[in-house]
Structure 1
Amino acid sequence: MSPNALIPSHRKPRRPSASSRALRAGVTGGFLTLAVTGATVPANAAEKPVSETQEMPTITTALATSAARSADTAEQVAFNYERQALQDSAFSHAAKAAEKHKAEAVKKAKAEAKKKAEEARKAKEAAEARASRSSERSTLSAPSSSTATGSTATLVSFLKAQLGKAYVLGSSGPSSYDCSGLTQAAFNQIGIDLPRVSQDQSTQGTQVGLDNLQVGDILYWGSAGSAYHVGVYIGDGKFIGAQNSSTGIVERPLDYDMPTGAVRVL
């Protein structure tokens, strides 16, 4: 046996190697707890328990702050989306309202245009009616002896030369006439031979309306074929005729004694 066999070794027991260390961790009471088992320490370190426990401040506060910020960001994003949606909805409603107002304005404009067109049409018809009536009046009143030419001028000139002469029943001139004798003598001046009596003169030529008279038309009172009086239209709404024994041969407006009809022989 070696002399040193019973001499106690002055070397300290070997500490567990690094490979035998174990780490335990946990959170207790708001602190992060780490448990280290079998940690190797320097040889000159004081003896410590094999198992050590160290406490570290927890990171819960930082995590909570970050989560709060994330929540605020998410809330802001949601608010922005909601606000944008409301704006889009408002724009959509405004656009629809604008389209509706535009359609109503177009409809109103069309109605106004139609109304104005109708008023213009009525005004045109009224103007045409007035022009027609004016033309009829002009026909009744024109042409006068001063504008008549040719045979009508000769006819009117003869009739005016007889004004003031006496009315004598059955007379044919030259100092007195009855109604049909005067018309017969007047038309003889222009080469037209008329029957002697009023009844026959009222059926000569072509019947014409009183609204379409021309100078030289023979006017009659009574019915065609049985007229009791005749005269000659001289224009300007007037006629000349041998009226009766009281007045003799006179010039009168048509409304003095409106005739029944007229015939045209020129």
Structure 2
Amino acid sequence: MSHTAHIPSHRKPRQRASKSALRAGVAGGFLSTIAVAGAAGPAQAESVTQTIEMPTITDGLSTAVAASAQATQQVALDLETQASEDAAAEKAAKAAKKAHAEAVRKAEAKKKAEAAAKAEAEAQERAERASRTSERTTLSASSGSSDSGSSASSPSSSSNSSNVSGSAASIVAFAKAQVGDAYVSGGTGPNAWDCSGLVQAAYRTAGIDLPRVSQSQSTAGTQVSLDNLQPGDILYWGGAGSAYHVAIYVGGGEFVGAQNSSTGTVQRSMDYDRPTGAVRVL
């Protein structure tokens, strides 16, 4: 047994319990106070921060910027297209103006050339007439008075195209059919002739091939007098073998010939331009 077993206890259980209860109460109140303070305190001390959510404009702005860029690009493209069209129109206008000026220049040049050619042909015809007149005068003086007397008779009294037949008729008919055609140097038909080209084509209708040039045609047959002509005879101007012009006697004192660019192919009286001589091929 303990040596203290009989020592009375100085503890006061009830008082101890009471203090314990008090302490418990105090502690509980303190804890409650802390709890209340903990609940109330932060609510008073906490700063209120409110976040306002702003509307997002990024998508709309991007769309507007893209649309503006596209519009700007389209305007630039339209301006470029318009500039190209304006440049093309200006270039076409310049080309048209240049072409018009060139056409006018060519027309004027052609007109001047035609006028010069006509004047030259007329001058050539006058020179040929003067030359033929001089040659006829020389031939007349050398042939004597008998020849000059016989020349007074006209071949029209003994020859008339109305009673021509055979090859001569076809030659005369062909020659007359070409009256009104143009004269073109080197022309052999069908609508433009030079003098020897017409004679050659007329004789071809009778199956006769003549030389191409007047110099050779003037010696292609038998020389005949101008007062003893027959339809179809070849008339020539200049010397035999050196003739510069030929035609076809068609009777009635007339001939058909491709004269020059001014007159073309004509039927004229021998008095209009009397030939130097004649040759008979038929």
What is the TM-score with the length of structure 2 in the denominator? 0.46
Which structure has more strand as a fraction of its residues? 1
Which structure has more helix as a fraction of its residues? 2
Higher relative contact order (CA 8 A, sep 6+): 2
